[in-house]
Structure 1
Amino acid sequence: MARFYALSIEPTLFGDACLTRRWGRIGSRGQAMTHQFEHEQDAVRLFLDLLRHKRRRGYRTLAPSDVHEAAFP
């Protein structure tokens, strides 16, 4: 079963860092979870931990140009 997992760090309106995690089956809307941090370095630390964990489970990083092809083969 083809799945996706996406991570992004963005600033909030109040200047905090927000880590957003999205996952699900390719072609579906999927689910999302957000984590808010006072310091961006804490968000980056969790981002890298999650990235390492997902790569160990077989997920791989796609270039933005490859995302469309992977989602709609």
Structure 2
Amino acid sequence: MDHDETGPVHLRRIDPSRNMRRFYTLAIQPTLFGGASVIRNWGRIGTSGQSKMETFDSDDDAAAVRLERTKRRRGYRDSGAP
């Protein structure tokens, strides 16, 4: 994620040959105590999917950056990209 970016990252992975249509959303929200929560939502496109929230003591978004890079290596692309 870009440090200047304030909105969530929306990724998707579509592979018709494998009947794969997945989405992945990653967002960072500040906590009341100066930390940050990384909120992930993923699943098959057209479903509500699953969610997970992890809270960190600092507002460093390094964990979110690592998660996004991992998903991109696995073939996920921005939602607007083919």
TM-score (norm 1): 0.76
> Do the aligned residues in 1 keep the contact of 2:34 with 2:59 (CA within 8 Å)?
no
Q: Which has the higher contact order (CA 8 A, sep 6+)?
A: 2
Match of 2:63 among 46, 57, 60: 46
* Aligned pairs, number: 62
TM-score (norm 2): 0.68
Please state which structure has a larger fraction of its residues in helix. 1
* Structure 2 unaligned spans of 5+: 1-19
- Partner amino acid, structure 2, of 1:50: L
Q: CA RMSD in A?
A: 1.6
Runs of 4+ in 1 over 2 A off after TM superposition: 12-16
Please state which structure has a larger fraction of its residues in strand. 2
Structure 2: how far apart are the matches of 1:60 and 1:46?
Answer: 19
Structure 2: how far apart are the matches of 1:29 and 1:13?
Answer: 27
